[in-house]
Amino acid sequence: MSMGTIAIIILAVVVIAAIAVIVAMSARTTDVASAPQGDAVPPPTGDDGAVTVAGRARVTGFHVHGNEARVTFDIPVTDSDDEVVAALLSDQAVEVVREKRHTLPINDVEQVVVFTGGDTPVELTRVRLRTPGELPDPGTQIDVLDFSSVAADPLTRDFASSTEVTATPTPTDDSLRPLGDEISLPPRLRSGLTAQGIDTATMKASDLVTGLLSLSGYQIGQGPIPGTLLATKSGSRTFIAFDEYEEGDYHELSESTIQRFAVDSRSSNVDRSLLVTEKYSPFSVYQLEKRRSDLRILSRERLQAFVDATSLG
């Protein structure tokens, strides 16, 4: 083999190796660029990875037995011992039957029976139909979970109010207490949250806020960024991001999470943006909100005021 041929082979090997190195570095750069920035934690997700959105209680069972259509909701029995909750779930149960009648015969159904509980459901209430198999016209039904006529719009009040942040309270132990131990809910709002399947004793900040917004007439759906939501009402769109607190987390919102939220909100093409967290806010939040009137950080020390604003309608 001549020296020229050997030189060509060596050059080809070098070129191939260089190309391999470039491809490997490019892949690594892509992985780094696509990795999530900051330490914000998205709201709870279901088994399919979809964000859990409040609005209606989850249905865990439905079947027709004789002249009864039986609907079971995923609400603890102890939380459903409430006349308001019974009325709210009755309306939901009728709508469940309406959706199911295309696959199951209901011609002989005279009553819609509402159950709550887990493995051992307990009957809560009954809805008697005027005529067997005929459900009330949905156009004449009132959405009993829409409190917009009697509850104030908490976002309108919150974005119009002072944004001053007080000093962060010092926790008495290593973990923050459950929100249910600190938030005072008027009976009507508590019933409205319970009827959406929200356990007010163990709820997260995301449960509380999205539940109250639903009661205030907002339509809540998936947001433009994974793990976020979009609340819409009267043509106004609000981008909602979350930083959920988990046991062992630091009790104060991090600067990286705040800055990431500020960047994401700009690219979301919405009217206003909300960051919801059970953690406390640092004082820097006040300066950010002074610069950006379209932003609000709904942190732990502000959640009670948010509840109060909803109940003042």
Each residue's pLDDT, cut to its tens digit, for the chain (313 residues) gives: 565 555 555 555 554 555 554 444 444 333 323 333 334 444 444 443 333 444 677 888 898 988 999 999 888 765 555 677 887 788 888 889 988 888 888 889 999 999 888 678 888 889 999 999 888 877 554 455 556 555 667 887 655 554 454 445 555 557 888 999 999 998 888 888 888 888 899 999 999 999 999 888 899 999 999 999 999 998 899 999 999 998 888 999 999 999 999 999 998 899 999 999 999 999 899 889 999 999 999 999 999 999 988 876 5
Whether residues 170 and 136 share a domain: the answer is no
Cα 127 from Cα 228, distance rounded (Å): 37
Whether residues 259 and 184 share a domain: the answer is yes
Whether residues 169 and 282 share a domain: the answer is yes
Q: Are 271 and 237 in contact (CB under 8 A)?
A: yes
Of 109, 140, 171, the position where a domain reaches its end is 140
**What is the extent of the structural domain holding 168?**
154-311
- Cβ-based neighbours of 118, under 8 Å, separated by 6 or more: 60, 74, 76
In terms of Cα–Cα distance, which of 200, 203, 214 is closest to 151? 214
Q: Are 60 and 216 in contact (CB under 8 A)?
A: no
Whether residues 113 and 196 share a domain: the answer is no
